[in-house]
Structure 1
Amino acid sequence: MMAKNIGVAAQRLLVAFTAIALAAGCNAEARDQAKDAEREALPEVGSTPEDREGIGNTAGTDGANDRPDFKVTESDRLSLDMARQACRANDFKTFFQAYARSWLVRENYTAETVRFGEEGNTRDKSRRNYVDGQLFPIGILDNGWVTAETMRQFDADPEFNWRNSRYMELEFNTASDNRQRVDYQAGIFERNLDPPPPELEEGLGAMIEPIGPGGYLLFYPTDTCWELVQDASNPVPRR
């Protein structure tokens, strides 16, 4: 079953990667507006992806045989190629898709130390602990943003019903120094209704009810790409 899911994902990635390759260097999409407020100071970014080149590719071989749950698949390799193309094209949104699709991309484009936890109460996580702990909160399923838990359910259940997917709404913002912030919120959307509104042809439709406090991800630019440096959930409202 897992092999079947991986094969489907690889086919989807191949289609997406082909389109990206054709568009590389000519991305005309307008950049999102930068937020006015500065975020709290973060520790300096550690080693660059170039310093770690090939780390992820050793999974399941010498040097990474203590990570049996992290095998490099064809889908992972396609995602890594997708990320590299997006880096060269300075296309963060496509890079983020690749980052969400594969642990191998996260292995190569995560800072040595990540601030993790509830905003105002974050703690340092090593790259290894962050990636191995599968702490990244977002997945992508059929070109829609979903929670990481939805992706785990999809991978484990061949009879997974898409109506059980927990979809997410994302907002991308770019700072003047090319830092990237992605705000996310899971919720119940019009697409989740049974039946959905007749006028809803594609997409999620409007969010009916948010689920959970949401949060944000912060990526710092490197010499050649970006690295995740912070993963913070919004504080839970106090009653």
Structure 2
Amino acid sequence: MAVITLAACDGANGADTHPKQGRVVPAQYTRGTAAPTSLDEQDRNALEMAERACANRDFQQLFTAIAISPAVRRKYSAPTITSAVLDPQGRVISSRDVPANSYEDFPVRQVDFYYKPAKPRSPGDEDEYLDIQFNQSQSDDFSVDWARVHYDGQSEGGDDLGNIIGPEGKPLPPGTHPDSDGQLLFRPIGNCWQLQEDIRWLR
């Protein structure tokens, strides 16, 4: 499995200043599956958000819509998603192709204004969030690196959750980010992007 590196752009919590793990080259995209015809209001609103994001070439807005709605995820996924587990050096431990209509492992959800894990590491942990970093290549591919984090609550008010707590239990310096737990790879197709690969690192 080949490896690429994508240039960093501003993420959900600021520009990414940490070096990234290995990048897996995504395969060629084809058209994704259609969204179901019976949708609730949240799905309809998210689909409209995704359409606006595509029209405006706004990947981060598209990603937010994908995190909100399974219907958006299905529509903006390749027919088959590669799900891989890599070791810390980027070597492939396992890899399998999952039909988009059977893919249920998307790791990110949005709650209010925050990205949170679809499944917390400890069941019921409502204080676990995700640090999200967006990276764009010259060919307009996007990788989304995500890491499980907790915050210290020492904020200045508003939507600020404070500082990210590092692996040693101390706040990380401002502008730094923890190593990724996983990476989602998107590639442009038509006037938008599709999810192609879901990569996790075994630590």
TM-score, with normalisation over the residues of structure 2? 0.74
Aligned residues of 2:116 and 2:129 also touching (Cα < 8 A): yes
Counterpart for residue 123 of structure 1: 96
SS at match of 1:203: coil
Post-superposition offset of 1:213: 6.3
1:205 is displaced (CA, Å) by: 2.0
SS in 2 for 1:117: strand
% identical aligned pairs: 28
- In angstroms, what is the RMSD of aligned CA positions? 3.0
Change beyond 3 A, Cα 1:167–1:93 = same
Which residue of the partner structure matches residue 174 of structure 2? none
Range with greater deviation from structure 2 (141-150 or 38-47):
38-47
Deviation of 1:200 (Å): 3.5
Counterpart residue identity of residue 208, structure 1:
I
CA distance in 1 between counterparts of 2:136 and 2:162 reads 25
Question: Could you state the TM-score of these two structures normalised by the residue count of structure 1?
Answer: 0.63
Counterpart-to-counterpart distance in 1, 2:197 and 2:111 = 23
CA distance in structure 2 between the aligned counterparts of 1:165 and 1:230, rounded to whole angstroms: 27
Contact 2:149 2:165 in 1 (8 A): yes
Give the AA of the match of 1:115: T
From the superposition, tell whether residues 122 and 206 of structure 1 become closer, same or farther in structure 2 (CA, over 3 Å): farther
- Correspondence 1:58 to 2:30: no
Alignment of 1:1-239 (within 5 A): 32=10, 39-47=23-31, 49=32, 52=33, 55-59=34-38, 72-119=39-86, 120=92, 121-130=94-103, 134-149=104-119, 164-191=126-153, 197=154, 199-201=155-157, 202-210=159-167, 214-236=181-203
- Which ranges in structure 2 are unaligned for 5 or more consecutive residues? 1-7, 87-91, 168-177
1:79, distance to aligned residue in structure 2 (A): 0.1
Q: Which has the larger radius of gyration?
A: 1
Query: Normalized per residue, which structure has more strand?
Result: 2
Task: Assess if the C-alpha contact under 8 Å between 1:218 and 1:231 holds in 2.
Answer: yes
Give the distance between the partners of 1:178 and 1:124, measured in 2 at CA.
23
| 8 Å Cα contact 1:115/1:230 also seen in 2 | yes
Aligned length: 171
Residue by residue over 1:183-209, the C-alpha shift from the partner in whole angstroms, topping out at 9 and shown as x without a partner, is 000122113xxxxx3x54232222114
Q: Distance in 1 between matches of 2:56 and 2:195?
A: 18
The unaligned stretches of length 5 or more in structure 1 are 1-29, 60-71, 154-159, 192-196
Distance in 1 between residues matched to 2:160 and 2:129, nearest whole Å: 11
When you count helix as a share of all residues, which structure comes out higher? 1
Counterpart CA distance in 1 for 2:20 and 2:199 is 19
Distance 1:44 1:37 in 2: 22
